[in-house]
Homo-oligomer: A and B are copies of this chain.
């Protein structure tokens, strides 16, 4: 059986990245960037390992995708990320002029929607793809931290 290269397919890849973060004791957020059905960047949150608040999954994915493409604009790309981007990441996505953002779980506190961050006029955004899986991973992580 050939799996269709749909939003669920790519979000599963982002979720796989999120589990790598989980296993490393990082807040489990993963991302992939796709152009023409091809994954050109994979990343997960590394803020603890790198001691660096800027090491969110999305930031690394943007840098990596631009490096792959040899140009800093990601107009024809889609970002799949397991948690709604924060102000910083949405701000970086603004500069990248990325075509589309697809996220899984909503971040009601620090997400770009709640914070009112401006996206590029050419960028579309949608959430809720595999939301439960992504939210469950985050809940498991924070429940473990509280113990």
Q: How many residues of A contact B (CB 8 A)?
A: 28
Bound CA span A70–B51, Å: 7
Given known A54-B63, A66-B53, contact A91–B87 (CB-CB < 8 A): yes
Contact of A91 among B66, B72, B86, B96 (CB under 8 A): B86
Contacts of A88 in B (CB 8 A): 87-89, 91-92, 94-95
A59 within 8 A of B: yes
Q: Contacts A47-B72, A72-B47 known; A54 to B115 CB distance under 8 Å?
A: no
Decide: A53 and B87 in contact? CB cutoff 8 A: no
- Distance of A29 Cα from B74 Cα, bound (Å): 23
Which B residues are in CB contact (< 8 Å) with A73? 53
Bound-state Cα–Cα, A47 to B71, Å: 10
Given contacts A51-B66, A87-B88, A88-B94, 17 further A-B contacts (CB under 8 A): A51-B70, A52-B63, A52-B66, A53-B62, A53-B66, A53-B72, A53-B92, A53-B96, A54-B59, A54-B95, A86-B95, A87-B94, A87-B117, A87-B118, A88-B91, A88-B92, A88-B95
A→B interface (CB under 8 Å): 47, 51-54, 59, 62-63, 66-67, 70-73, 86-92, 94-96, 115-118
